[in-house]
Amino acid sequence: MSKPARYVKHVKVSEREGAGEWKAERLSSLVLIPLALWGLWSAWALSGAGYDGALGWFRSPINATLLAITLLISVWHMNMGLKVIVDDYIHKPSSRTALLGLIGALCLLLAAAGVFFIVRLALGSAPLPAGLGA
């Protein structure tokens, strides 16, 4: 059971929690900087390569791995940021729990689908089975 919140002059005193989440957000931000630069460089390099050039880029194990890492860290960073927003602005416990569960499920679905499609492209398959694309 948690201790009741303490207040000094009507201001809630820190419970000394959340430092690990703060560090994780900063770490993911730092890791995303070189990955974003790599992504921009890759996009610039692929700008005139056409469809076959893009497929060749995806088939490179280094590019596919870096793209999957970028996706996973980005989704993790997004999940942490949205959690902070919900914790700060949603005060009803049941609503907060439902929103955090929904955000977690959507982030997990986004990460799984993204990695699935990256692996399909890296292995030389079409991103979607015939008839399901536009």
Q: What ranges do the domains of the chain cover?
A: 23-122
CATH topology assigned to domain 23-122? 3 helical TM bundles of succinate and fumarate reductases (1.20.1300)
- Output the CA angle 20-24-29, nearest 5 degrees: 150
Is the model's pLDDT at 133 over the cut of 60? no
CA angle 89, 109, 41 (to 5 degrees): 90
Give residue-wise pLDDT tens across range 80-124.
999 999 988 988 989 999 999 999 999 999 999 999 999 998 988
Dihedral Cα 111, 112, 113, 115, nearest 10 deg = 80
**Structure-token pair, residue 2:** 């948690």
Cα–Cα distances in Å, from 45 out to 52, 57, 65? Answer: 13, 10, 18
Give the pLDDT score at 125.
76
pLDDT surpassing 90 at residue 3:
no
Instruction: Specify the pTM.
Output: 0.79
For the segment 45-71, the average pLDDT, to the nearest whole number, is: 92
State the average pLDDT over residues 25-51: 94
| pLDDT of residue 45 exceeding 80 | yes
Residue with tokens 């907060």: 96
| pLDDT band at residue 131 using 50, 70 and 90 as cut-offs | low
